[in-house]
A and B are shown apart, each in its own frame.
Chain A
Amino acid sequence: MIRFDAVTKRYPDGTVAVDSLELTAASGQITVLVGPSGCGKTTSLRMINRMIEPTSGTIWLDDTDTASMATHELRRQIGYVIQHAGLFPHRTIVDNIATVPFLLGTDKKEARKTALELLERVGLPPHFAKRYPAQLSGGQQQRVGVARALAADPPVMLMDEPFSAVDPVVREQLQDEFLRLQQELGKTIVFVTHDIDEAIKLGDQVAVLRVGGHLAQLASPVELLSRPIDAFVAGFVGRDRGYRALGFTTAGTLSTRGEPTVTLGAAIPKGTDTDTWLLVVDAQQAPQGWLDLGADFTGHETVSDELLYRGGTLATQGGTLRAALDACLSSPSGRGVVVDDGGALIGSVTAREVLELIEARETERQP
């Protein structure tokens, strides 16, 4: 657990970067600090491992006042990941990962062995161990950065915009794997980002800071989306926050209806007058796309790949309301396809049905 107790950072020129911050980052959880630039989020983070010294106030690490520890001792107990990874260019990947164990005097062989395990854990092949940072892409470097922070198995990790320097596709990958890793490890993590979507996706709780170092709101992502405390937070969280909030509500068991299908490779069936859209599945009953029966099939006798409309997203039974609604809205037939965990077709729902469900939930919550 990390607790900020009336922590203030004032620079010699009078600028207040952080103003009597009160904040607790619970053990085993991800606390995200988010806000526009100049809001003091990075300063707050860096005060935890005393890369910046607070002007006043106390930061507690469990029951210890961090100010009472030698800085380098403190830092060795806290994993630290920064934007560009900050890998040491002159050391191999394995030695980069083993940095803190080396500092702690761990046996070199032992430290390298652990480092190799971590390399795999962050999803990099073992032959990367002997490479140098310059030989890795930005995303790969960032994975090494995470592995390095984990090397001494610190209970606490500080992450300063770790994924912001990579492209969106890689970023999403890294975020997903980060969440998976956290599920296994259960570290106490403080995470700084300027990206509200990332904050909502990753945070167990999100602290929104406003310029001048004031804490505007500390809440769970759902609460933040549904009940922003003031205009600033509302504005920062964004316009379609209501829609995004659905992402935190499970749909429960959707009542689906059966959907007629045709298997890929079968003969093209004749359409009916009322509905020209037919769902195409593969041999394992996994939905592949929609077939427009009203189209001109000259030159085609069987259902083949190039005839399919692939626009629709899929909702998982037991998934979120947001996913269910999206499946409906994105489907050319207007019917959202629902699959089971294995990806096999269960049936379909309509947007009207999902909206009714959302309304029902709202009335439940606000009696």
Chain B
Amino acid sequence: MTVLADSTSSSPLHFAQYFLDHSSEDLRLLWSHTWLSVVPVVIGLLIALPLGWTARRYRWTYPPIISITGLLYTIPSIALFVMVPPLLGLDTLDPLQVPIALTVYSVALLVRVVADGLASVPEDTVQAATALGFRPVERFFKVELPIAVPVIAAGLRVAVVSNVSIVAVAGTIGLSNLGQLFTQGFQLSTPDAYYPPIVLGIVLCVLLAVVLDLAVVGLNRLLTPWRRAVPS
């Protein structure tokens, strides 16, 4: 019994033990959390690229596009999560509701980033590319987009990191991700405080955010080799 009591200690430092005791469940939550954090950003970027390009190419569209996407970003996530199923006619348990809501946020965040990233491409470079005979689409993918990568990557870092936090919010309405560790820990904290699942959830969320952040940084470096060629 002492062994058991030890392994179920309420101390915050026992989160590692808690993880070992529940590793398959926790890994499942971690995996679903990762998935939910990454996929919406990727889809969001794919949607934001043409929108951002439009906002940049046709200047008059910039204010409305940026205002509308900015407006979407002010909707509290908890409200968006519960609004998505009835608005789109989805099943209430539909696993898509969180990714859809998060995609909305990612688009909202990234449209501006893409537009500003494209704006960061020097006008001279665009002119030169045009003079060299690039057609508009070619020029976008071969010249403008690569040069805009660092700015877009900065936006992506913000998007993935904040997504990790928002996904946890979805845990509070009973969706399966690391946020559940918080609700479980909270429930188990009556009558006495029980920290391990809460601390474990925070640790895993932070680790996940850091790893995803580093992944974007690495991707950025990979895609912009010329930025490392700094004259001494």
Direct contact of A and B (CB under 8 A): no
Interface residues of chain A, those whose CB is within 8 Å of chain B, are none
